[in-house]
Amino acid sequence: MDLFILSVVGIGLLIGYLNVPGEWYAGLSKPWFNPPNWIFAPVWTILYVLIAVVGWRTWYIVQRSDLKALWIAQMVLNFLWSPAFFGAQKPALGLLVILPLLAVITLFIARARMVDPVSALMFLPYAAWVAFASLLNGAIVSLN
């Protein structure tokens, strides 16, 4: 399990480090519900730990190929969002990544619910945060 946690959290933090919001992001118009910047790193760190534990459970406990494929798909989309939004400085491109991400997370929860309810429950905070982030991303697109 340690390898899953170290890998997922490490890659997530590296992508965050390589795609710092910076002045470009600071200059964007944001909605009233935009949280302070300091909240994102701790929230994502916690979420990455949950994602990693679910990945480990998917590989070593449940061992279902459909859940493995969904877990990989959400990881790929998750890791693509920061480079799309911050790296390319394209909020609309970020929206094109985050909406399928939310769909895949939701599908994972729906499929895991019957075979691994613990993983399904562990993905609920992730789904809630990505739903909020999708709303925020969409609002930034509409305001800019």
Regarding pTM above 0.85, the answer is yes
Neighbour-count burial of 141, counting CB atoms closer than 10 A to its CB (0-12 exposed, 13-18 middle, 19+ buried): middle
Residues 6 or more apart in contact with residue 52 via CB below 8 angstroms: 1, 4, 5, 7, 8, 9
- Provide the residue type at 2 as one letter: D
Which among 143, 141, 107, 144 has a CA at the least distance from the CA of 126?
Answer: 107
Q: For residue range 15-49, what is the model confidence (pLDDT) as tens digits?
A: 888 888 889 999 999 999 999 989 988 999 899 99
Q: What would the pLDDT profile of 127-140 be if each residue is shown by its tens digit?
A: 999 999 999 999 99
Give CATH for domain 2-143: 1.20.1260.100
Place of tokens 């910076």: 22
Query: What pLDDT shows up at residue 1?
Result: 67
